Amino acid sequence: MTVLDPATGASRFVVVPASYVFLLREAPDGTGTEVLLQLRRHTGYMDGHWAAAAAGHVERGETAEAAARREALEEIAVADLDLVFATAMQRTAHDLPIDERIDFFFTARSWSGEPRIVEPAKCADLRWFPLSALPTPVVPHEAVVLAGLRSGALPTLTHHGF
């Protein structure tokens, strides 16, 4: 997407920031790490795909961490997240109207509240899955991050769509 620079009148592209939260826990049976995912519906983007339990755009004047905390409270009713930065992803999708993104991914292993669906119109299901056995389909750029979390080799900067 491009906009005109008000000072120069020149065309500039816009980068849209978003924050994602992957809640992680040890499986109750001790078999490894699980991640909480939501099944998207009626959002207009990747409906029918599994995705981070909480995610959304960073608002003007808001930090990526504050956006992650706000989205977690709005979407799954958890607060006091112990956020750990996982990676930043520069992403493009040339066929979409907004095609330049910077995504900030966080994990959390502790929080207050019991995760639940707060927006049932946008979320069809909310479930824990082993990192080693994810459901299909997963939103493609999020699958890249989940694979890095699973392997333990997630770089601090990732790219998707280039």
**pLDDT score recorded for residue 8:** 74
> CATH no. for residue 23?
3.90.79.10
CA dist 29 and 100 (Å) reads 41
> What is the domain range of residue 123?
14-160
Q: Please, what sign has the CA dihedral across residues 98, 44, 149, 82?
A: positive
User: pLDDT tens-digit profile of 82-140?
Assistant: 999 999 999 987 666 556 899 999 999 999 999 999 999 999 999 999 999 999 999 99
In a domain, 5, yes or no: no
Average pLDDT over every residue of 43-55: 96
In a domain, 145, yes or no: yes
What confidence tier does 1 reach under pLDDT thresholds 50, 70, 90?
low
In a domain, 42, yes or no: yes
In a domain, 8, yes or no: no
**pLDDT score recorded for residue 158:** 96
In a domain, 22, yes or no: yes
In a domain, 2, yes or no: no
**pLDDT score recorded for residue 120:** 96
In a domain, 147, yes or no: yes
Q: Are 143 and 75 in contact (CB under 8 A)?
A: no
Per the structure, the count of domains in the chain is 1
Residue whose C-alpha is closest to residue 22's, from 137, 131, 158: 131
Average pLDDT over every residue of 23-30: 96
Give, for 136, the enclosing helix (H) or strand (E).
none
**pLDDT score recorded for residue 7:** 74
In a domain, 132, yes or no: yes
